[in-house]
Amino acid sequence: MFRVVLAELRKLRRPTLVLGTLGAALFFAALVTSFLFLLIDDPNGNGDRGRQIGREVLSLASGSVTGFSSVGGLLGLIALCVFAAQTAQEYTYGTLRNLLVRQSGRLRILGGKLIANAIFATIMVLFSAAVSIGISVALAPRAKVPTDLWFTSDGWSAIIHTIINVMIAVIGFGIFGMALGLLLRSPISAISVGVLWMLIIENLLGAVKESALKWLPGSQLNTIAIGGSETISYSHAMQVGGAYVIGISIIAAVLFSRRDVAN
Amino acid sequence: MSSLAISVRDLSKKYGDRMAVSHINFDVPLGAVCGFVGPNGSGKTTTMRMLLGLISHTGGSGQVLDSSIDEPEKYLSQVGAMIEGPAFYPPLTGAENLKVLATLGGFPIDRVQTLLNQVGLGDRAKSKYKTYSLGMKQRLGIAAALLPNPKLLMLDEPTNGLDPEGIQEVRALLRSLADNGTTVFVSSHLLSELEIISDYLVMLRKGEVVFAGKIEELLLAQQHVIIAKGQNHADLEKILSIATSMGHSATIRNNEVHVHADADWASTLNRAAFDAGITLTQLTPQLPNLEETFFEMTGDK
């Protein structure tokens, strides 16, 4: 498995992929965090879906990562696209047959791919966290947000917890992408279906019946990223989201290990 | 340790109602160059994929390097393969592509440059794969197949897209690998090339083996062909009719009459043609080559 991870990392470290992915992640992290502080007095809200996040919330110990936790869902979508593309491209390029000739253990290939992509996603999350926290620190004085509690022991604990939660969410989104890549065997189809579902279909379903959001996968992963919400608890999101991730992983692994490689 | 590199018994693959490969049997001895031929869709690639564990078989059994094809992990580290053309990551360089496979297989990374030099891509190692010509892609595929220093090399149409010089180089490479003990199992549509380099031949037609054995046995078993040509194009039909009237099958191919008859019957044909007022400008008894035999046996004219 270790060799598979190293081989996958060789593919992932190409400059266009690294710079493109990090560029998108950092852009969203910077944008969302900047809006949070720059629009703090805007009557239309400064958070997700017009939510108002005031100074009293941002001055808490978790204030430095409030912006970062909000960007978790977008980082998740980026991870979904990367994981899906990296998996499905093996079919479109026909390279899967090369991989399987050099490493016939199909589950080892899958596991190695997942670990390598997870490492890639972790780096993306850590960079985004650094940028988001940096921007928060830089913009807090201008937005008149006290930062006294941000780097206390409670503040650091909040930072670590948020990074872990975002990481769990991002890898969860990535696993969905990987599964879609395996099922659909085309990067374009996998990314289209994944993004369409997570961004549009879940939101439409939520708009029609809000309680549906408690049971939809993307909503659970978003909730994990922000550490729980008023309507969905963290533990509920972990259980339901985890069940989705495990379920789709099993389906994808069974398909991948049994399906003929005929292209 | 058996003396066979590949051995298949009743190996079959069924897709829905269609038998892609039907109960095939053949052996490939260790150290041999074995040609694998058949018309398009005859099951060559499917067979190779089954031997590499890429697709499951629906019947029969197979052994590669003494291990069952149900346990490909036991032999794949000693097998190099290029199936259905080269397949690599376009945004990576040629060298990076090979390094991915070398890392995956646990082969020394410094072998990559040696192999790139060996296939004539040493100076393009740092170029992206997407900038390679078809011939260069093919060479990279061959280099990838050689990564494990294989005991068995399985190549599907390795000379596709290569220029005559490249074809000659691949031929020499395969021969030298075989001379050093590597078994080469190679499919190609260039039958004249296979005839030159192969010791053994497996011929498929519609998913069934029509011949498996030494290539010289196949050619020797074929009836001689007498190739005759007259001064005028109109003479061809007359020569054809003379041959058939004397009980020999004959066909017109490439402005020549091919008569299936022993070599010593040529003098009889010459006399009969002379009596019919035809001056033969060519009268050549010869054994059919692999291409003619292939057409004969597969009915794929």
pLDDT at B298: 67
Q: Which residues of chain A lie closer than 8 angstroms to B99, CB-CB? A: 10
User: Which range is least confidently modeled, A34-43, A168-177, A245-254?
Assistant: A34-43
**Chain A interface includes B51 (CB < 8 A):** no
Supply the ipTM of this predicted assembly.
Answer: 0.83
**Which residue in chain B is spatially nearest to A262 when comparing CA positions?**
B55
Report the alpha-carbon angle B139-B143-B145, nearest 5. 115
**Which residue in chain B is spatially nearest to A104 when comparing CA positions?**
B73
Alpha helices in chain B (DSSP H): 44-51, 94-105, 111-118, 134-146, 164-179, 191-197, 215-221, 235-245, 266-275, 290-298
CB-CB under 8 Å, A3 with B106: yes
A232 phi/psi in degrees, rounded to 5: -125, 120
Termini Cα distance of chain A? 24
Counting one residue from chain A and one from chain B, the pairs whose CB atoms sit within 8 A come to: 76
The pTM of this model reads 0.81
CB-CB under 8 Å, A4 with B54: no
Nearest chain A Cα distance for residue B128, angstroms: 11
Select from B88, B89, B105 the Cβ nearest to the Cβ of A102. Answer: B105
**Which residue in chain A is spatially nearest to B51 when comparing CA positions?**
A101
Percent over 70 (pLDDT), chain A: 99
To the nearest 5 percent, what fractions of chain A are helix, strand and coil? Answer: 80, 0, 20
Q: Decide if A77 contacts A85 (C-beta within 8 A).
A: no
**Chain A interface includes B100 (CB < 8 A):** yes
CB-CB under 8 Å, B144 with A98: yes
Q: Which domains does chain B have, with CATH numbers?
A: 4-219 (3.40.50.300), 222-298 (3.30.70.790)
Whether the pLDDT of residue A54 is over 80: the answer is no
Mutate to test the interface with A, among B100, B126, B140 (most CBs of A within 10 A): B100
pLDDT at B299: 61
pLDDT at A162: 93
Confidence label for A105 from pLDDT (cuts 50, 70 and 90): confident
**Which residue in chain A is spatially nearest to B95 when comparing CA positions?**
A10
Q: In what order do the strands lie in the sheet with B4-15?
A: B18-29, B4-15, B59-64, B67-68
Helix/strand/coil for B56: coil
Whether the pLDDT of residue A169 is over 70: the answer is yes
Q: For residue A100, which of B62, B51, B182 has the smallest C-alpha distance? A: B51
pLDDT at B288: 66
pLDDT at A187: 92
DSSP A203: H
Nearest chain A Cα distance for residue B257, angstroms: 43
Nearest chain A Cα distance for residue B51, angstroms: 10
Whether the pLDDT of residue A179 is over 90: the answer is yes
Confidence label for A188 from pLDDT (cuts 50, 70 and 90): very high
Select from B76, B88, B148 the Cβ nearest to the Cβ of A95. Answer: B88
- Whole-angstrom Cα distance, residue B185 to residue B4? 12
Mean pLDDT by 10 residues, chain B (301 residues): 85 86 88 86 88 90 90 91 88 93 91 88 87 85 91 87 79 82 85 79 83 76 80 86 87 85 84 87 78 66 45
Nearest chain A Cα distance for residue B278, angstroms: 56
Confidence label for A260 from pLDDT (cuts 50, 70 and 90): confident
pLDDT at B301: 45
**Which residue in chain B is spatially nearest to A5 when comparing CA positions?**
B104
CB-CB under 8 Å, B56 with A104: no
**Chain A interface includes B111 (CB < 8 A):** no
Residue-wise pLDDT for B132-144, tens only, equals: 888 888 889 989 9
Residue-wise pLDDT for A223-239, tens only, equals: 998 888 888 899 999 99
Beta-bridge partner residues of B225:
B260, B286
Helix/strand/coil for B20: strand
Supply A84's token pair: 């899906």
Burial B102-119 (b: 16+ CB within 10 A, else e): bbbbebeeebbeebbebb
